[in-house]
Amino acid sequence: MAVEVRHLPCDPLERKQVNQLSALLRDSWPLPSEINEVSVEFQAGPGLSPTHHQTVTTHPRWTTRDRRTALTLRQNGLVIETTQYGSYERVRALLEQALEARISIAPPAGVDRIGLRYIDEIRVPVENGNLMPNWTDWLDPALLGPAHIGLELSLVPAANEGVMVFSSPNNRALVLRYGAQEAYAVQSTPELRRPLPPPGPLFKIDIDSYWQSDDELPEFATDQILAKTDELHEPVRGVFESLISDRLREEVLRHG
């Protein structure tokens, strides 16, 4: 799960400010580090060979001792990522701490986007000697697309991928990405670790609930940001529950 609060660009943090943040964040994120992001810009003109310019930007980052929850501060936002979700209340408390620390050191001028993203990898038993699970037993058939084509052609569906975007007049949106696949939807990295189950077929449900500002940018205030985050979180569980079957709910999620 990840939560991002994007704001107007700020000056890069000085080393003294990073050290101050480390002291404020030590209880939750005791391990300070840095992460590099590489951006490449290509330029071309009439009669000229294409050229590219590479920029490396370094961002301060803090992680838990098990490296399963991380906080990254960029010049235009902060991101909390975790592979050990626990509960929304846990992540909300971490977000509150990060916001308060950011404001105490160098408050941004305004917020332009807030987003919550949940990625679930669903794994179920493969039965009757099949290579793939019978996903119709576990998920809403609407997620499986025109699977009947495979039956007509004597072919077995090996993968599928889809996306739906839902929006509202109040600048809120929810993006649902889904599909059956073999590769992990979330990898384990040195910067953000996760226990990896044995490789095999899985079904990804990826829910991105976000708010995007229009012409007016609200101030970077903890209470306002948390209220908007609560609003974005409210539909997530219902969306997920609507996409799974009672069998998945009873046999896998509740009884492991």
Mean pLDDT, range 134-162, rounded to an integer:
84
Q: Across residues 186-196, what is the average pLDDT?
A: 93
Mean per-residue pLDDT over the chain, rounded = 91
The domain limits of the chain are 2-38+53-116, 117-253
pLDDT at residue 256 above 80?
no
Distance CA 256, CA 251 (A): 7
Region 106-126: what's the mean pLDDT?
94
* pLDDT interval class at 150 (50, 70, 90): confident
pTM: 0.89
> What's the CA gap between 213 and 25, in Å, rounded?
28
Give me the mean pLDDT over the 114-141 stretch. Answer: 89
Q: Quick one: pLDDT at residue 154?
A: 78
Tell me the CATH number for domain 2-38+53-116. 3.60.90
- Residues 30-70 pLDDT 10s: 999 999 877 666 666 666 666 766 777 899 999 999 999 99
Average pLDDT of the residues in 118-125: 93
Residue 146 vs residues 155, 161, 162: alpha-carbon distances, Å? 12, 12, 12
- % of residues, the chain, pLDDT over 70: 93
CA 237, CA 254: separation in Å to the nearest integer?
A: 15
From the list 216, 207, 187, the residue with the least C-alpha distance to 115 is 207
Answer yes or no: are the C-beta atoms of 50 and 43 closer than 8 Å: yes
Contacts of 63 (CB under 8 A, 6+ apart): 29, 31, 33, 69, 70, 71, 191, 192
Tens digits of residue pLDDT in 67-107:
999 999 999 999 999 999 999 999 999 999 999 999 999 99
